[in-house]
Structure 1
Amino acid sequence: MSTEKVPEEKQSVLEGFKAFLMRGNVIDLAVAVVIGAAFTSVVNSIVKGFINPIVGAFGTKDLEKYRSCLEAPCETNAAGEVVRGIPILWGSVLSAILTFLITAAVVYFLMVLPMSRYLARKAAREQQAEEELAETEAEEISLLREIRDELVARREGGPSS
């Protein structure tokens, strides 16, 4: 009996996996990852080509070279590797923070804000359409009540207007 169940389980697992892959969310996520990877290189270029030189106007042009030494003095060899001391690479941290802030700002102002405005306008239009439909239905119900009352009055032999 267990050998008969295995192919069915494999079939259902494969079908489930196929259904998972074919969902719109997975495809959207894959597209987002690809676009995010491309966007990361754009943001890194902006930070390295634009922000770093502006910061460099006040010091070193490369933020990665901003560092402090925890145990003084820090000594480096010809290759730039620290051979003595404990360096704190706060320039790298600053560069990463700037990259994050630029990415977050671009995502917010170019994607999140316009989408939320679009969804708010769409919701307002839908609400207005629902209100108009409810108003139309109320008018129709009022008209139908009048017709009903007129028919009841005629059936009872009452006066018609």
Structure 2
Amino acid sequence: MLNGFKEFILRGNVIDLAVAVVIGAAFTSIVNSIVQGVINPAIGALFDASDLAEALPLAIPTVSGGNAIISFGAVLAAVINFLLVALVVYFALIVPVNVLKKRAAARKNAGQVVVQEPIITEIDLLVEIRDLLAKPAIETGKHADS
């Protein structure tokens, strides 16, 4: 029963689910504060705005005579936020899990002898083809030319 649970936990689907939960819960708040407190104001300053979310506005006239504002800066801020969260999760979770999987596979395969296939070169293939072409001539007493 414990072996089944161990296999279930070590499957990729469970680890992917755990990564998704961690992205949603823990890292999002940390990365949000970094993006909103440091990166957005720094990039916003390049566009003469107090925040990236307020940068790059596009005013579109509406039918009623007002303006609708499209905030490209807010979209850019969300993309930066997502990329930073994904980067942190990749290096904090995915890389260590992959290293652990490789170590477990190496331990599992440590006692097994690995049989390596011989490397066949073009010359080996040409020799084999020559031998196969010459074989009927030897068996029948005829030459391959005739």
TM above 0.5, yes or no, is yes
Q: Which has the higher helix share?
A: 1
Kept after mapping to 2: 8 A contact 1:55/1:61: no
CA distance in 2, matches of 1:121, 1:33: 25
Q: CA RMSD in A?
A: 3.2
The offset of 1:126, in angstroms, is 1.3
User: C-alpha deviations, 1:106-128, integer Å up to 9, x for none?
Assistant: 11111111211221122122112
CA distance in 1, matches of 2:38, 2:77: 12
The corresponding residue for 2:54 is: 65
Larger Rg: 1
> Matched residue pairs, number?
100
User: C-alpha deviations, 1:76-131, integer Å up to 9, x for none?
Assistant: xxxxxxx8112111111111101100001011111111211221122122112233
- State the percentage of identical aligned residues: 46
Q: Indicate how the Cα distance of structure 1 residues 89 and 105 shifts in structure 2: closer, same or farther if over 3 A, else same.
A: same
- Give structure 1 stretches of 5+ with no counterpart: 1-22, 73-82, 133-161
The corresponding residue for 1:117 is: 99
The corresponding residue for 1:46 is: 34
Structure with higher RCO (Cα < 8 A, 6+ apart)? 2
- Give structure 2 stretches of 5+ with no counterpart: 1-7, 115-146
Amino acid paired to 2:32: N
CA distance in 2, matches of 1:102, 1:118: 24
CA distance in 2, matches of 1:31, 1:105: 12
